[in-house]
Amino acid sequence: MKRKLTAEFLGTFWLVFGGCGSAVLAAAFGGTDSNLGIGLAGVALAFGLTVLTMAYAVGHISGCHLNPAVTLGLVAGRRHPSSEALPYIVAQTAGAVLAAAVLYVIATGKAGVEIGGFASNGYAELSPGGYGLVACLVAEVVLTFFFLIVIMGATDRRAPAGFAPIAIGLALTLIHLVSIPVTNTSVNPARSTGVALFAETAALSQLWLFWLAPVVGGVLGGIVYQSVLGEKAD
C-alpha cells in the first residue's frame, strides 16, 4: 500500500506541477502579443502529457488515478477496492498541494510578478470566459463522466494492451481544449485544491463545485460503464 500511495502522491505532483506550471509560467510567456507563449492548446497538451507519462511510469503500481474523482469513479465501477479510496485521495491531494507550493516558489521568483488566479478554477467572475455556475457545473460533470468512460474502456481487458495511457492522455487534452474557457478545467478535485490555496482570488470559496461536479461525473461514468459497457453487461 505504501508504494501505491507514493506513486499517487508523485503522479499527482507531476500532473499539477506540469499542467498548472505550463499555465502559470508558459501560457503567455513574453506577453499577450508574443508568439513565445504556448497558449490554450499548449496548456491542454501539457496536462495530457503529464497523465500519459505518469501512466507509463506508475500505472503498474497504483493504477495512476492522480484524481479523487477517478478513484471514486473506479470504485463505483468495481475496478478499485473501496478500502483504498480515502488513502488514495489523501495522497493525491497532498501531492497537488506540494506541487502548487513548489510552483508558487518558482513563480514568485520573478520581480514584479502577480500571481492572480494561479491556474485555479472558477465560475461566474472567476470563469475565464465569464460562464455561470450552472454552465460550469454541467461542463465539469459531463467532461468527468466521459473521462471515466475513456479510462475504463481503455483499461478494459478486452481493449488493446499497452495503449491506455495514450487514450487517457489524449482524452484529458481534449477535455482541456473544450473547458479551459469555461472553468479553466478541473475534472480533478486535487488539482483544484492545490492551486486554490495560493491563488490571489476567491478560488477557495468556489472550490466546493470542483469537488462536487467531478466526483458526481466520475461516479456516474464508472457506474454507466460497468452497467452498460462492461463485460458482464454483454
Q: Which domain holds residue 210?
A: 2-233
Q: What is the DSSP string of 36-92?
A: -S-HHHHHHHHHHHHHHHHHHHHHHHH----SHHHHHHHHHTTSS-GGGHHHHHHHH
All three cell numbers of 133, joined, read 455556475
Place of cell 490554450: 40
Domain count, the chain: 1
Closest CA to 228 of 149, 136, 135: 149
d(CA 149, CA 168): 10
pLDDT in tens, the chain (234 residues): 999 999 999 999 999 999 999 999 988 655 544 556 789 999 999 999 999 999 999 999 999 999 999 999 999 999 999 999 999 999 999 999 999 999 999 999 988 888 899 999 999 999 999 999 999 999 999 999 999 999 999 999 999 888 999 999 999 999 999 999 999 999 999 999 999 999 999 999 999 999 999 999 999 999 999 999 887 755
Quick one: angle between helices 133-154 and 68-76, nearest 10?
A: 60
**Residue 144's domain is classified under what CATH number?**
1.20.1080.10
Specify the pTM.
0.93
DSSP letter, residue 160: P
